[in-house]
């Protein structure tokens, strides 16, 4: 497998970064994960916007011109012989002296990773599980998709390695927040519900897409602060992320849910299928393009 590293496409066995990279030393790095479908990077513009915002927060400078990134993605897909791929675009501060840096990072390390994914997958159900470990508070005013992943790792260790389970974080105050690697949605009486960003969740691109899609289709939406009991009263529950798309929940605690047979889960899955091979941004959806 090949990766893109600071201007070059290299085999993973030849990829080298500095041990003085502040992404390694101090966690000064942000990343985005997204998928390509038949070579199209779904919602790439939104991913790049969030990545740029995270870089600005960390004082990291790098060229993220959209057309340049699209060419890199295509060239790497061709080199790896892929059309449908998992992509991770990673930007870290780059090498520097040991010690906390206050001036801008001007020599960033930029890496694009890819790995193969199936062309089409059926809806894969998961069981939800409330976590004992609580969601930590963001390092800044809004959670970044950064290298700071210990809270998520500790949560994954709590529920174990099973791919059929997803843990649900509560905040320190006991409000529903998000999954370990996903955002959380449920439907009650035809209304779509999801926790607010004020809980400290990562505002996922797929989360934003589902909310915009609901508005576009005039589906009632409620974003707020919720307790465990609220979601247990739901008609349907699902998780979202940019790689696994729509993830139906068939069980949470001792309560069973429709999972992949849910009416709204099926509806959102159909809509996702409709847009994923051509949409560049959520704004295009709002404009009806």
162 and 93 in a common domain: no
Whether 243 contacts 216, CB under 8 Å: no
Percent of the chain whose predicted confidence (pLDDT) is above 90: 95
Select the more confidently predicted residue: 287 or 208.
208
- Per-residue confidence (pLDDT) for residue 118, from 0 to 100: 77
190 and 140 in a common domain: yes
Residue 219, pLDDT > 80, answer yes
132 and 112 in a common domain: no
Reported as a pLDDT band with limits 50, 70 and 90, residue 211 is very high
**For range 276-286, the mean pLDDT:** 95
- As a whole number of angstroms, the distance between CA 267 and CA 51 comes to 29
What Cα–Cα distance (Å) separates residue 159 from each residue in 1, 48, 112? 31, 32, 30
220 and 180 in a common domain: yes
Domain assignment present for 41: yes
CA–centroid distance for 86 within its chain:
12
- Per-residue confidence (pLDDT) for residue 175, from 0 to 100: 98
Q: Comparing C-alpha atoms, which of 6, 27, 204 is closest to residue 109?
A: 6
103 and 187 in a common domain: no
48 and 170 in a common domain: no
**For range 208-228, the mean pLDDT:** 96
Token pair 């199936």 is at which residue? 118
148 and 45 in a common domain: no
Q: Comparing C-alpha atoms, which of 148, 129, 246, 242 is closest to residue 200?
A: 148
Domain assignment present for 10: yes
Reported as a pLDDT band with limits 50, 70 and 90, residue 288 is confident
Domain assignment present for 121: no
Tell me: the pLDDT tens digits for 141-184?
Answer: 999 999 999 999 999 999 999 999 999 999 999 999 999 999 99
Reported as a pLDDT band with limits 50, 70 and 90, residue 286 is confident
Domain end (from 64, 84, 116): 116
- State both tokens at 115: 């790995």
Residue 247, pLDDT > 70, answer yes
Tell me: the pLDDT tens digits for 18-56?
Answer: 999 999 999 999 999 999 999 999 999 999 999 999 999
Give the CATH number, domain containing residue 212.
Answer: 3.20.10.10
132 and 111 in a common domain: no
Domain assignment present for 32: yes
Average pLDDT score, the chain = 96
Domain end (from 97, 116, 135): 116
Domain end (from 95, 116, 137): 116
- Per-residue confidence (pLDDT) for residue 136, from 0 to 100: 97
What Cα–Cα distance (Å) separates residue 47 from each residue in 65, 136, 161, 206, 244? 12, 23, 28, 10, 16
Total count of domains within the chain: 2
Whether 235 contacts 255, CB under 8 Å: no
Give the CATH number, domain containing residue 109.
Answer: 3.30.470.10
Domain assignment present for 174: yes
137 and 10 in a common domain: no
130 and 111 in a common domain: no
Range of the domain at 214: 126-287
Reported as a pLDDT band with limits 50, 70 and 90, residue 120 is low
């Amino acid at each position: 497998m090949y990766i893109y590293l600071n201007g070059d496409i290299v085999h993973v066995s030849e990829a080298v970064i500095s041990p003085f990279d502040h992404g390694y030393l101090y966690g000064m790095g942000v990343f985005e994960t997204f998928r390509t479908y038949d070579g199209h990077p779904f919602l790439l513009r939104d991913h790049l916007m969030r990545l740029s915002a995270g870089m600005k927060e960390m004082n990291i400078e790098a060229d993220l011109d959209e057309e340049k990134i699209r060419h890199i993605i295509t060239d790497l897909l061709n080199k790896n012989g892929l059309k449908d791929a998992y992509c991770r675009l990673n930007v870290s501060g780059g090498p520097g002296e040991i010690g906390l840096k206050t001036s801008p990072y001007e020599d960033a390390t930029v890496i694009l990773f890819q790995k193969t994914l199936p062309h089409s997958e059926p809806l894969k159900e998961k069981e939800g599980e409330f976590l004992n470990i609580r969601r930590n508070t963001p390092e800044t005013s809004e959670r970044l998709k950064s290298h700071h992943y210990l809270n998520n790792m500790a949560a994954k260790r709590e529920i174990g390695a099973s791919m059929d389970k997803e843990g649900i974080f509560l905040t320190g105050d006991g409000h529903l927040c998000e999954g370990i690697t996903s955002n959380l949605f449920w439907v009650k009486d035809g209304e779509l519900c999801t926790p607010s960003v004020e809980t400290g969740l990562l505002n996922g691109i797929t989360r934003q897409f589902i909310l915009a899609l609901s508005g576009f289709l005039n589906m009632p939406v409620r974003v707020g602060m919720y307790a465990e009991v609220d979601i247990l009263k739901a008609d349907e529950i699902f998780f979202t992320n940019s790689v696994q798309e729509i993830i139906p929940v068939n069980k949470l605690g001792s309560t069973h849910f429709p999972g992949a047979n849910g009416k709204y889960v099926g509806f959102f899955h159909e809509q996702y299928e409709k847009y994923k091979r051509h949409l560049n941004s959520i704004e295009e959806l709002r404009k009806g393009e």
